[in-house]
Amino acid sequence: MSFGYHMAAAAGIVCGVAAAGDVTVTFESIPGAFSANDMSPDGRWVVGDVDVNGDFFPDDGYIWDRLSDTFTVLPPLGFGAIAVSDDGAVVLGNIPDPGGVGSNVAARWTAATGWVSLGALPQANACPSLSDGYELSGDGSVAVGLSWDGCSGRGFVWDGTSRMQELEPLANGGNRASVISSDGTIIGGFAQGSFDRTPAVWDGGTTDGMLLDEPNGDVQGEVTGISDDGSVLLVEWLDASAGHTAARAATWTASRDIQIIGAGSLLPGWGGNPMDIADDGTIIGFDILMGNRRAWIQPQGQGPLILLEDYIESHGGVVDLDLGLHVPQAISADGRTIIGHTTFEGGWIIHIIPPCVGDATGDGLVNFDDLNLVLANWSQVVAQGEDGDVDGSGVVDFGDLNLVLAEWDSDCI
């Protein structure tokens, strides 16, 4: 088997967020959101689930445009919004099988088409689904997920030009495709290895695959996240031969080296699960033990893992949830926005505001030029971070004015 894997070196990632001690962090719940499952790299579009009847189970999907603050519940044919394209035009989720089997299939939603089934692999039985969508490429044209050969799991890739394609079966079958790079060329997930799930990766063009722990897949875990450019895989990694008793959060790059993130987990004995990575190297994830979860962050990919709630509150934010934070799902490319959800308390969003945020003009100074830009665009809806929107809300208002005044005469050069 030939596997053409062409990841760029990860060493070129550039740090773009200021040191942790210099930032301000805010936290807020997302009204009406049962979960927050995915976010576009620019932080504008968020998708997730809503609980319509209050039974603590997701009913329909939603898409939230943060620029216009428009929260749209998607048509009820679909249940769950799992992933979103970079421009917010395409949502991946699941719908009841149009063929009447009584199971669900992966589906794409656009405003023009509504929900459209992606189908299933030819030999799929309802085990219990026919197929499930997991992730989209940046332009929304490629989807990956899980379908079946009988009742043996198979990862799939769908690009709209042909029927759903099966990714190369690896190890003992039971494969699933969970994540995909922005350009659709690198797919990550798991196969059933020697003992349990084992991390796996596939070429999106050829569908050829390989185990990260070749040849047998003795390491337990899965690929749980991927950088937008495909250069870094985030991996849950339990290597008993190395003395692991629980999964370690780790990265895997083109050199095929595993690097443990921090100590591998926030809490000793808990399993570490990395979820997403920003362009500056910041990684978010969570620990899990017997169903209990604790969200964490590693700023700029350096140092120890930090309890996300502590990180927020040590930088001025207030987490007003009784149960705390559980699962961070996505971080924006600039590392300034994080979304996720907590059991029974819904979706949430975090804003990380770097120092000298009042520098609206980008000249490294906060002065009358910045004030004039804010006033010139007062009450306007603008692109996030542009035209005086120094707090990233997408609207130029008192929040931006207050930040300019708070940082007045600062020199960030």
**pLDDT above 70: residue 24:** yes
Tokens coding 156? 């799939």
pLDDT averaged over every residue in the chain? 89
Give me the helix-helix angle, 368-376 and 398-406, nearest 10°: 180
Mean pLDDT, residues 376-399 taken together: 87
Q: Which residues of 253-266 are buried (b: 16+ CB within 10 A; e: fewer)?
A: beeeebebbbebbb
Q: What is the pLDDT of residue 370?
A: 92
**Which range (170-174, 307-311, 375-379) has the least confidence?**
170-174
363 pLDDT band (50/70/90 cuts)? confident
Q: Say whether 399 sits in a helix, a strand or coil.
A: helix
Residue 321 contacts residue 348 (beta carbons within 8 Å): yes
Q: What is the pLDDT of residue 412?
A: 66
Mean pLDDT, residues 362-382 taken together: 90
On the 0-12 / 13-18 / 19+ scale of CB atoms within 10 A, 299 is buried
Whole-number Å distance between alpha carbons of 15 and 18: 8
End-to-end CA distance of the chain: 52
C-alpha distances in Å from residue 247, one per residue of 174, 191, 267, 394: 20, 16, 12, 39
pLDDT, tens only, 69-78: 999 999 887 7
Q: What is the pLDDT of residue 8?
A: 32
Complete edge-to-edge strand list for the sheet that includes strand 38-39:
38-39, 45-50, 60-65, 70-73
Residue 385 or 298, more confident: 298
Host H or E run for residue 369? helix 368-376
**pLDDT above 60: residue 324:** yes
Q: What is the pLDDT of residue 413?
A: 57
**pLDDT above 70: residue 13:** no
Q: What is the pLDDT of residue 58?
A: 76
391 pLDDT band (50/70/90 cuts)? confident
